[in-house]
Amino acid sequence: MLQFLVRRLIVAILVAATVMTLAFILTRLSGDLAISIAGPNATQADVEAVRKAYGLDRPLTVQFFDWVGRAATGDLGESYFFKTKVSKLIGERMPITITLGLTGLVIALVVSVPLGILAAVRENTALDRMVQMVALLGQAMPSFWLGLILMITLGLQLGWLPISGTGSWQHYVMPGIVLAFSAIPALTRLTRAGMIQAMGSDYIRTARAKGLSRASILLKHALRNAAIPVVAIAAVQLGFMLGGSIVIEQVFALHGVGFLAWESIGKNDFPVVQAVVLVLAVIYVALTMLADLMNAVLDPRLRGP
């Protein structure tokens, strides 16, 4: 178990280091950053001043190791536009993105687990086909468009929910539904497949033979076994949702981390952009590690030699 943990941790650190390098290269792609920061009307002297002020006159390797060294201690640099610490900016915006991500995940689970169970219990019936169709429809839905449609219907025409902003919990319902759509197809399919596999296993036959009630067999025995991969994938899906929420935050004007990144891209504020890429990648790596860990704890067969 310890060996498993250590190995996973080493891979996670290596992945984070690679993403850091890529994020650094990414923000240097545009060529001379000083020119883009100084703006189109800057004189040569302005550009030189900017280059000195931001330390862009140093060799690239020095800049890179400076960034890595600081990031390792939690210092992600300073935003060019907001003139504050990037870590503080991300810290302020993160609760909104995490609230949105968790709302989306909860909605996705509430919808897809019952649907998956239903489809598995009624395997190869019209109901099963309908559930699979719902998953396909969800997969084809453009999230930003669904957001706009919900704004027109639930927001404007029915007046049930606020259209944009972050004032109250109601503000998270519509973006949460939209975000959930991206996870529902995968979670439904997985629940269905897991339940079908569990229902065909020996311990379910034993439970049936003992004369247990149908509900008890389904919920206590089958679901518990089918839940292991679902819980693990849910953690991974949360990572994808946090990364993908940038579009939805923009549609609903939620000022989370994704919105921050989008603003910063428009302003050439590259310390913020590279920091958000890094933070989201680290969160994703941590969540996948958590998923592996949960798998290993819940299912000893996966721990390996």
List residues near other proteins by CB under 8 A. 11, 14-15, 18-19, 22, 26-27, 29-30, 36, 129, 136-137, 139-145, 148-149, 151-152, 156, 239, 242-244, 246-247, 250, 258, 261-262, 265-266, 268, 270, 273, 276-277, 280-281, 284-285, 288
Which residue number, 26 or 228, has a Cβ lying nearer to other proteins? 26
Q: Give the residue with the Cβ less far from other proteins, 113 or 151.
A: 151
Cα–Cα distances in angstroms (integers) from residue 63 to residues 32, 80, 85, in the given order:
14, 16, 17
**From the CB of 31, what's the least distance to other proteins, in Å?**
9
Under DSSP, the state recorded for 31 is: S
Q: Cα(226)–Cα(197) distance, rounded to whole angstroms?
A: 8
Entry field: residues in the chain: 305
First to last CA, the chain: 9
207, 217 in Cβ contact below 8 A?
Answer: yes
- Please say whether the beta carbons of 33 and 26 come within 8 A: no
Closer of 110 and 253 to other proteins (Cβ):
253
Q: How far is the CB of 144 from other proteins (least distance, A)?
A: 5
Least distance from C-beta 215 to other proteins, angstroms?
A: 30
Cβ 243 to other proteins shortest distance, Å: 3
Nearer CB in complex with other proteins: 87/143: 143
Write down the least CB distance from residue 104 to other proteins, Å. 15
Q: Given the complex with other proteins, which of 151 and 223 has the nearer CB atom? A: 151
Euclidean distance between CA atoms 165 and 19, whole angstroms? 32
Q: Which tokens belong to 4?
A: 């498993």
Shortest distance (Å) from residue 177 CB to other proteins: 16
Alpha-carbon span 117 to 192, nearest angstrom:
6
- C-alpha to C-alpha distance for 170 and 158, rounded to whole angstroms: 14
Closer to other proteins at the Cβ: 54 or 284?
284
